[in-house]
Structure 1
Amino acid sequence: MNIPSEPIGSLPRTVDVLNAMAGGDGAALDEAVDQAVRETIDSLQDLGSTVVTDGEQAKASFWTYPVDGADGLAPDGVVIPYADGHQRQLPRLTAGPFRYRTRADQYLRTALRHAKVPVKQAVVAPSALSLLYPPQGIDGYPREAFLDDLLTESEQEIRGCLDAGAHSVQLDVEEARLALKLDPSGGVLRDFVELDNRLLERFGEAERARIGVHTSPGGDQDSTHSLDVDYAELLPELFRLQAGNFYLALAGEADQDRVLRITAEQLRPGVRVFVGVTDPLDPRVETADEVRDRVLRAARHIPPGQLGTCDDTGFSPFADDRSTSRQTAFAKIRARVEGTAKAAAELGG
């Protein structure tokens, strides 16, 4: 029995990367990132990861990396409040046409130079970037024109990753659960799903099998933005997305069996669900036996042939989040990999 286990994406940046980001020296940052990606991938491979990521070492933010440093943006966009009281604020688009300044395939190509196993690439979903467009609109650049440009940019990014040799591409739709907090009627969430499906419809069935969707209640400075939103309100809508893989935060949920039952009700043939078995927001490192037991619990609801494991979310998805050390992150990943293997052996037996 094989149960795949994958990281979500980000890992704490190395000290050299953080110092280079703060110093503003592009050449120094490139050198620090290349070394950090090498160290990250080597560490993941040494832990037994059969799929790796670059740890998003070059991204200051998993959410805004395509437009960091771009023109036509103001700093006073949508505010994302977290449970501990801190906030993140997105930029606000002030003019069109909308274009990516950076695409993730450039990160992927760096990772592929160092990896000996398949590489997954995380990208931000169009639904997340749609929040950059202001509610009051932009003169001469209507919202639908913006969305068309956004979908084209996102499609080109994903195709670039697939063509470059990505094992899979993961759409980060962390804003999905948050949408229900911003609009309890569900209208914003439905709009997000429709937009992301417009993107997925641009790909063939074989390509969509290599595209996944990750959702979580957020993870920043050991806090969340939407853990209080009931998964039961999210999952039926989320599973309308025509993706081949789903990565669901689960380890941090109070009633995991309930979430698994809801997930099983929505599961389609040919879809694989990766359930979170480690919680990056919990400073305690899970044991391999705890992970094994979580996998076995999940297998009571989800057919093992459609089951995978992951971390609930990325570690330190924003570069200034230093709440988790690299040592802790890799220890949790070791527990995930070893615990998943133990569960797979039991299920196979």
Structure 2
Amino acid sequence: MGIPTEPIGSIPRPPALLAALSDHAEGKIGDAELVARQDEAIADTMARLEQAGSPVLVDGEQSKPSFVTYPLAGLTTLSPDGAVIPFADGHTRQLPCLTAGPFRYQRHAVTYLRAARGHTTLPVKQAIIAPSALSLLYPAAGVDGYSRKAFLDDLTAEAETEIRECLDAGAHAVQLDFTEGRLSLKLDPSGSVLDDFVALNNQVLERFTDAERARIGVHTCPGGDQDSTHSADVDYAGLLPKLFQLKAGNFYIQLAGEPDPERVLGIIAENLRPGVKVFVGVVDPIDPAVETPEQVRDRVLAAARHIPPDQLGTCDDCGFSPFADDTSTSRDTAFAKIAARVQGTRLASESLGL
């Protein structure tokens, strides 16, 4: 395939895993049985991605509690009253709040990568949470005996370790989920919070070589939980110029769900720098209708009028189920959309003679 195509990350969990998660929370089953159900779901996810023709696989985040909180599972120095993220339909998600230092990841994403690679010989991408998102754990009032600077030093060290471990373990690519980027402009239209996020993420990315950064990417979207977004009303024109300041080799940009994708493509073209690859979203996980391969083809060809084909890739707009309890999209629908993305990208590559 001339134009590369990759999944973003999460896939809806199968009913057996959802039941096991509920039973585990109620104490009806132990850790070992839950892990067995998770491993079955990972194997099935990767097999179905292969059947859909996906040249790059993910584990679907089947064993993550959520795309953002997986490093925190088991951390005892947290309170539940952290930052609240409001979604357009009225529901919210709330982050925990740090109560003591030092801050350490309780689980690194390399454990998910190693488990996934045991199920396939195809390339596997690993999604991780951006350090900027985890910076929101530190309370405005501070932590007694643990300064914000000390926290950020610990956070950047942990994030560097996580990325390096995944690269060393053979990840095809490591994708930083940066959904808080667009949200930050809703919470702070001045852009100063976004500037801080970009600077913090670059503190981590600068620790890698150009060759390593070619395998590191950043994903942006306006959120996608329970078929609702948290910042789709924020103009991409405020985000994208600063997004491309990130020292990553790949950018995964939600586009299919945008009301004016041509305008967004123009902004991307204005800010695109040589040597990076832009993966544009060509299927929308929030839209219940499954795109046809021809629709995807046309979206790719539209993108190719703005982005040089050798810098162009395709992806899903967002993960399909970023939180384990999100059942708004069915598993079958997710795989049907992925198959359409793969087929449509192939049709576009053929049309472009690639």
TM above 0.5: yes
Whether 2:101 is the aligned partner of 1:96: answer: yes
Show the counterpart of 1:299: 304
Q: Which stretch of the first structure deviates more once superposed, 18-27 or 115-124?
A: 18-27
Counterpart position of 1:308: 313
Written as runs of structure 1 = structure 2, the 5 A alignment for 1:16-165 is 16-24=16-24, 25-165=30-170
Question: What is the distance in 2 between the residues matched to 1:277 and 1:348?
Answer: 20
Higher mean C-alpha deviation, range 8-17 or range 209-218: 8-17
Residue 229 in 1 paired to residue 234 in 2?
A: yes
> Matches of 2:114 and 2:37 in 1, distance apart?
16
Distance 2:331 2:245 in 1: 35
Query: In the alignment, which residue of structure 1 is the partner of 2:224?
Result: 219
1:10 paired residue number: 10
**One-letter identity of the residue aligned with 2:92:** Q
Matched, 1:169 2:174: yes
User: How many angstroms apart in 2 are the aligned matches of 1:165 and 1:198?
Assistant: 23
Return the alpha-carbon distance in structure 2 between the equivalents of residues 27 and 146 of structure 1.
34
The residue type equivalent to 2:335 in the other structure is: F
Give the C-alpha shift of residue 21 in structure 1: 1.7
Gap runs ≥5 in structure 1? none
Please tell me the residue identity of whatever aligns with 1:14: P
AA at the equivalent of 2:3: I
Task: Measure the CA separation in 2 of the matches of 1:301 and 1:115.
Answer: 35
Deviation at 1:46, TM superposition (A): 1.1
- 1:23, CA displacement in angstroms? 2.1
Partner of 1:345: 350
**Which residue number corresponds to residue 209 of structure 2?**
204
In 1, the alpha carbon distance for the partners of 2:164 and 2:310 equals 27
RMSD: 0.8
Deviation at 1:297, TM superposition (A): 0.2
Q: Given residue 144 of structure 1, which amino acid in structure 2 is its aligned partner?
A: K
Q: CA deviation at 1:115?
A: 1.4
Q: Distance in 1 between matches of 2:192 and 2:128?
A: 24
Structure 1 residue 88: deviation in Å?
A: 0.2
Matched, 1:248 2:246: no
1:335 aligns with 2:340: yes
Shift of 1:20: 1.9
For residue 343 of structure 2, give the secondary structure of its aligned residue in structure 1.
helix
Q: Percent identity?
A: 67
Name the aligned partner's letter for residue 13 of structure 1.
R
Alignment coverage as a number of residue pairs: 349
Distance in 2 (alpha carbons) for counterparts of 1:87 and 1:194: 27
| Cα drift, residue 293 of structure 1 | 0.3
Measured in 1, the distance between the counterparts of 2:90 and 2:73 equals 25
Structure 2 counterpart of 1:181: 186
Partner SS for 1:114: coil
Give the 3-state SS of the residue equivalent to 1:314 in structure 2.
coil
The secondary structure found in structure 2 opposite 1:348 is: coil
More displaced 10-residue stretch of structure 1: 24-33 or 83-92: 24-33
Please give the alpha-carbon distance, in whole angstroms, between the structure 1 residues aligned to 2:121 and 2:43: 11
CA offset at residue 33 of structure 1?
1.1
Tell me the amino acid that sits aligned with residue 78 of structure 1.
A
Deviation digits for residues 173-198 of structure 1 (CA, Å, limit 9, x no counterpart)? 01000000010000000000000000
Counterpart Cα distance in 2 of 1:125 and 1:334: 28
Amino acid in the other structure paired with 1:153: E
1-structure distance, mates of 2:153, 2:185: 24
Distance 1:20 1:151 in 2: 34
Deviating more after overlay: 272-281 vs 26-35: 26-35
Report the equivalent of 2:272.
267
In structure 1, the partner of 2:27 is none
Could you tell me the TM-score, scaled by structure 1's length?
0.99
1:188-235 deviations in Å (ceiling 9; x for gaps):
000000000000011111111100000000000000000000000000
Report how far residue 60 of structure 1 moved.
1.2
What residue in structure 2 maps to residue 326 of structure 1?
331
| 2:17 alignment partner AA | V
Secondary structure at the aligned position of 1:88 is classed as: strand
The list of structure 1 runs, each at least 4 consecutive aligned residues, that deviate by more than 4 angstroms after superposition, is none
Taking the aligned partners of 1:203 and 1:14, their CA distance within structure 2 comes to 37
